[in-house]
Amino acid sequence: MNFTITAAPIPIGSFLALTIGLGGPPFFFYGFLFIGLGQLFLCLAAAEIASSMPHPLGQAYWVVRLGPQKYNRLAGYILGWLTNGAWLLIYTTTVLYTSEILMAVIECRKVTDWSLSASLVFINGAALFVLITLLVRANPKQSATAVFVSVANNSGWGSTAVVFFLNVLPGLASLGACDAATHMAEELELPIRDVPRVMIGSALLNYLVAIPTMIIFLFCIVNPEAMLSPVGGQPLIQLLADGYASKVLTAIAGALIVVGFAIGSWAALISWSRLYWLFSRTNDGVPVNALILGTVLTIAIGAIQLGSSTALNAVLGGASLCSGFSWIVVFSFRVWRSNDALDPQRWLNLGKWGRPLSGFAILWNMWTIAWVSFPLFLPVTLSSMNWSSLVAVGVVVISFVYYILFYRHRSDEME
């Protein structure tokens, strides 16, 4: 489940538009390598905490265990909202990507019934099929110089370093949901071992699979200019349509990608629903009303997305901000408490490296939060503005209002 939510080869393709103007293919590729390494270290630090105190609430539970007792209820409430907000936005992103990819395939070519049926036959070999056929069909291919060396900056930003660091979204989208396994802790036979293994294993798998996938995609961009205004707003479908030059192959590959995103959305819904369930089951059982509300919000956000090309990046960026802030709080208390609050018999014990690695994770999250909030292109207009911070602030404001009106009057404590 942890791997299927991010499934690196698919989100990597969704950000191919960044290869035009925002540093070109070299910054896209090297930026992912850099961001991916940072995310792997963050995941390792988080996995040690999960090994010591596995719990479906994840960060919201850990901050209660690690923080000062006087403020643990408030801290748990705040991180509960941040993690729930992050996972609602992650679920929304996967659903929106699924629908947009599907619409792009339909817009690209009118697909016949038999080609859709043929698409389902190739589901089991989705990734290999797409990549191998793309390598065979795409012509002409980009040169090694174009992929690894030639930098193109048409973003409006004067600093090359700024342009490089703006390429954070592909790495965060591919390796940013490392806490998914923690929300399934109660359903695992040995969570102190299985949760950290899944967290680290899925992050490594995403990172290692994304690298060759990215290289193949970058070499197979037949029409670079088309990435700026791709069919259906989806550069990955534009890449496939140009590379395949085949109605049937484009339909098959598009169907495989749609199914991949659909599976990711189901996994995200499972992870998100476990969070709601844990917050409410002591009173009313399974939070049906909350899940219905979340579905309604997803549909509402989807309606906004239909009229705005920037809404999807705002949703994904908002998820990164909510998640990043929650990790900053958890790792701050982890550094403050050192190893005293962790189980000495935990399966994953980083020893003397645990505390400095958590300190790095704090700085790393602060750094990624800053860059996720930047607009990608200048000058900033209403359509090119980065609205990620507004989405995250919205989650905080709603949680604050709910706390004042309802939660502070409750006497129940988190167990």
Instruction: Please write down the HEC assignment for all residues of the chain.
Output: CHHHHHCCHHHHHHCHHHHCCECHHHHHHHHHHHHHHHHHHHHHHHHHHHHHCCCCCCHHHHHHHHCCHHHHHHHHHHHHHHHHHHHHHHHHHHHHHHHHHHHHHHHHCCCCHHHHHHHHHCHHHHHHHHHHHHHHHCCCCCCHHHHHCCCCECCCCCCHHHHHHCCCHHHHHHHCCCCHHHHHHHHCCCHHHHHHHHHHHHHHHHHHHHHHHHHHHHHCCCCHHHHHCCHHHCHHHHHHHHHHCCHHHHHHHHHHHHHHHHHHHHHHHHHHHHHHHHHHCCCCCCCHHHHHHHHHHHHHHHHHHHCCCCHHHHHHHHHHHHHHHHHHHHHHHHHHHCCCCCCCCCCCCCHHHHHHHHHHHHHHHHHHHHHHCCCCCCCCCCCCCCCHHHHHHHHHHHHHHHHHHCHHHCCCCCC
Are 59 and 79 in contact, with CB atoms under 8 Å apart?
A: yes
If you average pLDDT over every residue of the chain, what do you get? 82
Are 98 and 265 in contact, with CB atoms under 8 Å apart?
A: yes
pLDDT of amino acid 123: 39
Write out pLDDT tens, residues 284-329. Answer: 556 676 677 778 877 877 776 544 556 677 888 888 999 999 999 9
Place of tokens 């699924």: 98
Cis geometry, peptide bond prior to residue 26 (ω within 30 degrees of 0): no
**Between 79 and 229, the higher pLDDT residue:** 79
Q: Please check the confidence at residue 403 and state whether its pLDDT lies above 70.
A: yes
Sorted by where each starts, the structural domains of the chain and their CATH numbers stand as 8-413 (1.20.1740.10)
pLDDT of amino acid 412: 53
pLDDT of amino acid 119: 35
**Between 281 and 28, the higher pLDDT residue:** 28
**Of 270-274, 338-342, 367-371, the least confident:** 270-274
**Between 412 and 211, the higher pLDDT residue:** 211
Write out pLDDT tens, residues 102-114. Answer: 777 776 654 444 4
pLDDT of amino acid 250: 86
Which two three-digit tokens encode residue 182? 């923690």
pLDDT of amino acid 113: 41
pLDDT of amino acid 2: 54
Residue range 217-242: mean pLDDT, rounded = 86
Model pTM?
Answer: 0.86
Q: Widest CA span of the chain, in angstroms?
A: 67
Exposure of 358 in the CB half-sphere (CA atoms within 13 A): 25
pLDDT of amino acid 366: 95
pLDDT of amino acid 272: 80
Q: Please check the confidence at residue 191 and state whether its pLDDT lies above 80.
A: yes
Q: What angle do CA 285, 302, 290 make, to 5 degrees?
A: 10
Q: What percentage of the chain exceeds 70 in pLDDT?
A: 86
Which two three-digit tokens encode residue 353? 């490296």
